Amino acid sequence: MRIGLFVPCYIDAFFPAVGIATLELLERFGHEVVYPRDQTCCGQPMANSGFNAECAATEALFVRNFSGFDYIVAPSGSCVHHVRDNFDAIEQTPQVTEVRKRTYEIVEFLHDIQKVEALPWARFPHRVGLHNSCGTLRGLRHATASELHEPFFSKPLDLLSKVADIEFVTPARPDECCGFGGTFSVFEEVVSTKMGYDKVSDHASAGAEYIVSADTSCLMHQKGCAERIGVHMKFIHIAQILNGASS
């Protein structure tokens, strides 16, 4: 398949390894992965703050960059949630709706479309705590949310359980928000960072060496919080583990 790789702005600038892992992982499954070089952002930062008109041009650019692919894949749950569920600042032409519905977050692409059965190259001999971001958990429905009465399922755990030697720990509040919340992280920074401190402390108490997530933005926030309060914790994107990173 011909896949358009969307590498959101903060991943491009601060976490290139996440973009590289995503690209390599898709290539391992034999896909032609194209990185449109004029890409910037999905528009979420403005839309999330209520400024829908201000994100129209960015959304239009996204559609120009990503039209014509079989799928568009990104290593960021919240961006994909925006594209799929809130991307309405521009006229909903067939071209726009086509791009929106073909946009997938990497975990759901591997689980639902690729239907991955084995990851023979992946081994991660560490104790990890899984952070299901709110965008993936309650937006994209990666997994059972603890608030709902429904049978258990978890796409990220399905994939991670195919990784050799990985060990999981469960924090006391597995799906409590970590406090990133997009622009919330700066407009309400005291509450946001308190939530982050609590999140990384909870994983540390559970014995995690790593926090793994499908949302780099949450990890960026949690890393900043952990470093500030001196919690020793490592952070890694799920695509890196699935692609065979060993640490």
Partner 1 sequence: MSNPVGQAGDRHAMLHPELRAEHDGDAIIRNGQRLDHAEGASTPLHSQPEKQPRGARIHGSRPVDQAEAAARFIAAPQHEKMHDERLWDLRQKRDREMHGIPEWEELRSLASAIKEHTLTRLDQYLEQFEANARSNGITVHWARDAAEHNRIVHGILKDHGAKSLIKSKSMLTEECGFRAYMASVGIEVIETDLGERIQQLDNEDPSHVVVPAVHKLRTDVAEVFSKTLGTDPENSDVHYLAEAQRDATRPLILAADAGMTGCNFAVAETGTFVVCTNEGNADLSANVPKLHIASIGIEKVIPRLEHLAVFVRLLSRSALGSPMTQYTSHFRGPRVGGETHIVLVDNGRSERLGLSEFWTSLKCIRCGACMNTCPVYRRSGGLSYGATYSGPIGLIIDPTFNAKKYSNLPFASSLNGSCTNVCPVKINIHEQIYAWRRELVRRHEVPMAKKAAMKAAGELLSHPAAYRAAIDVADAALAHLPRFVIYNGLNAWGKHREVPHPPPQTFHSWHQANRGGAS
Nearer to partner 1, 153 or 167 (CB): 153
Q: Tokens 């034999």 map to which residue?
A: 30
Residue 221 binds partner 1 (CB under 8 A): yes
Pick the binder of partner 1 from 25, 43, 71, 155 (CB under 8 A): 43
Residue 201 binds partner 1 (CB under 8 A): no
Three-state secondary structure call for residue 128 = strand
Residue 29 binds partner 1 (CB under 8 A): no
Rounded to the nearest 10°, the torsion over CA 112, 143, 59, 110 is -30
Footprint of partner 1 on 135-174 (CB under 8 A):
137-139, 145-150, 173
Smallest distance from the beta carbon of 122 to partner 1, in angstroms?
21
Nearer to partner 1, 94 or 151 (CB): 151
Q: Tokens 């990666």 map to which residue?
A: 142
Span from 13-21, 95-103, 115-123, 158-166 in contact with partner 1 (CB under 8 A)? 13-21
Query: What's the Cα-to-Cα distance from 25 to each of 39, 42, 102, 179, 243, rounded to whole Å?
Result: 20, 22, 18, 29, 5
Burial 143-159 (b: 16+ CB within 10 A, else e): bbeeeeeeeeebbbeeb
Contact 232, 209 (CB under 8 A): no
Pick the binder of partner 1 from 32, 112, 165, 189 (CB under 8 A): 189
Find residue 123's DSSP bridge partners.
164
Burial 235-245 (b: 16+ CB within 10 A, else e): bbbbbbbbbbb
Find residue 76's DSSP bridge partners.
215
Nearer to partner 1, 169 or 174 (CB): 174
Residue 188 binds partner 1 (CB under 8 A): yes
Pick the binder of partner 1 from 29, 48, 162, 206 (CB under 8 A): 48
Residue 132 binds partner 1 (CB under 8 A): no
Smallest distance from the beta carbon of 243 to partner 1, in angstroms?
14
Residue 17 binds partner 1 (CB under 8 A): yes
